[in-house]
Chains A and B, each alone.
Chain A
Amino acid sequence: MKNVLLICFKEFKSYFVSPIGYAVMALFALIFGITFYTSTSQMVQMGFRAQMMGQQQPMSVNEMVIRPLLGFAGTIVLFLVPMITMRLIDEEKRNGTIELLLTPPIKDIEIILGKWLAALLLYVCTIGMSALNLAMLFLWGKPDLKPVLVAYLGLLLQGACLLAIGIFVSTTTKNQIVAGGVTFFLSLLLYLLSYYTEFATGAFWQALNYLSIVTHMENFSKGVIDSKDIVFYLSMIFFSLFLTQRSMESLRWRA
């Protein structure tokens, strides 16, 4: 555990020594901020219009602003995750520092967990930027807090899962561009699976649909915690980290 934290802190710090950490956070804040502004102002305009026409239609900030916004954040994550994971292990391989990590008395899994946690930490910080925007809604409105928290839990799990896949990809190559690109396309594929299989029937397509990260995200963004979704994300994380560990081990045999 000590080694995991050691590697995690070192890795997290190195995100902020290079521009990557700042870039990821700034890009997310920018895009999320713009989207937040447009969707909130739309809602406000709709509110005015409704008042002027004398209709007393119930309007929910949760349904109209927060839910689509956090759903959108889940999409931006697809672009952020490759940026976060693309240097984690391939860079060590290219610089030869992998020898530094693999020769002291620590286990491969400690290295992997440390790096994954560091990536997750940066991810949480990034996603956390959106909370600043949402906090304004809470200051001037009365949205329901619980579904927001559940949506964040969903984002966290989805990110953790994609980051684990990203680390696995990172162990298989020495090239950052390849690592980033492959991670992005894998994430995109997992994202699109739900669109491909939306109206499909049959066990195979259903299974593919189950694999899509969007399918599982939907419940969370509605504010529903379903153990099926949690199991899905956790098993994806576990599976990816397991693959990473095997891949690290095979580095020794292939190197």
Chain B
Amino acid sequence: MIKVEGLTKRYARTVAVDNISFEVEKGQIVGFLGPNGAGKTTTMRVLTCFLPPTSGTANVAGFDVLENPMEVKKRIGYLPETPPLYPEMEVVEYLRFTGQLKGISSADIGKKVNEVIGRCALGDVSKKLIGKLSKGYRQRVGLAQAIIHNPDVLILDEPTSGLDPKQIIEIRELLKHLSGDHTIILSTHILSEVEQSCERVIIISQGKLVAIDSVANLTNRLRGSESVALEVESPNGTPNPSDVQGRLEQVSGVSRVVLKDSKNGRLAFEVESLQGRIIRAELARTVVNSGWNLSELRAVGLSLEDIFLELTSTEKKKAAPAEPAAPAPEGGKQ
């Protein structure tokens, strides 16, 4: 759906985006991650035909942003970082205006506006002046503006900034709901945001692509091994810690077992696997076969936050990324 090749954007002296290539398939939600000034907004602006690229190409739904901007624009809904609102307009009036700008005929506009007001839960404020709305509502009006014409591609620059947690969850639900027929690119600093709503992550730092992969793969790739939190209890009293530890260590693929905690008759362990081994199933079987109860078993992933810091800070230290940027095919497997 979106194909970016060798995209470079240079401002007078600075290179904002440096030779970035990626692809996004139809229906995916992709998170665009990077520290401030990494070039997220610039890349998005190129995709929306707001800025022309200095070199390289960007394709949306098969149309080039330079050669066929009108066709690209028809298929894109864009929410910039600061929602582009007219404070002197009423919400309904504003949505009618933007909807018509995007080519909705005046016969359909009423229906579309009502629909999007329902979707973004703007019913209570639809007759208010935008200038009088709180930040959360403004953000939602901005989002409503982006989705009103039901675009194939949604480009959202920090869609959840300034929202309260409940609203964030609502927006997240809305995005999930939209992702079926819409391709969504969203940028954010909030990493849990990406973990929760995105299928794939594109990390850029200082204008360069650092990583592009699924959240799960990215975690695995960096860590290389799996880490599992495990809680064991016994039907008759607390099991002997060293006994349990010994058994767990014998499971094939386990590299390290650490006793984390022991209370209320439960023992909590953290078990790490060898490179590339999946050990959860085998661990569970071992515990149960030994006559203990398995009260908790979960994979402890490296949080995206850690990955993010590692990727973007190694970039600075060594000038070359610790993990070379994955080529598009690897990410495209799913």
Contact = CB atoms under 8 A, between A and B. Distances in A.
Given A97-B85, A99-B50, A103-B50, A3 B80 contact: no
Interface residues of A, number: 23
A96 B81 CA distance: 9
Interface stretch (A10-18, A28-36, A200-208, A221-229): A10-18
Contact of A99 (B74, B80, B86, B88): B80
Interface string A90-111: 0000011111111111100000
Chain A interface mostly helix, strand, loop or mixed?
A: helix
A100 B98 contact: yes
B268 interface: no
B276 to A, nearest CB: 45
Given A103-B49, A104-B73, A252-B51, A10 B97 contact: yes
A255 interface: yes
Given A97-B84, A100-B98, A105-B102, 9 more contacts: A6-B97, A14-B86, A95-B86, A99-B45, A99-B50, A100-B84, A104-B101, A105-B70, A255-B50
15 contacts: A2-B100, A6-B97, A14-B89, A18-B88, A95-B82, A96-B84, A97-B86, A99-B45, A99-B84, A100-B101, A102-B49, A103-B48, A105-B70, A105-B102, A255-B45
B50 A14 contact: no
Q: Residue among A18, A96, A105 with the most chain B CB within 10 A?
A: A105
A96 B101 contact: no
Contacts of B88: 14, 17-18
Contacts of A98: 84
A104 B50 contact: no
B103 A102 contact: no
Contacts of B101: 3, 6-7, 100-101, 104, 106
Nearest to B142: A100
A252 B100 contact: no
Contacts of B82: 95-96
Interface in B24-47: 45
Contacts of B74: 105
Contacts of A7: 101
B168 to A, nearest CB: 22
Contacts of A199: none
A7 B86 CA distance: 13
B73 A103 contact: yes
Contacts of A140: none
Contacts of A106: 101
Interface in B76-118: 76, 78, 80-82, 84-86, 88-89, 97-98, 100-103
B102 A104 contact: yes
B183 interface: no
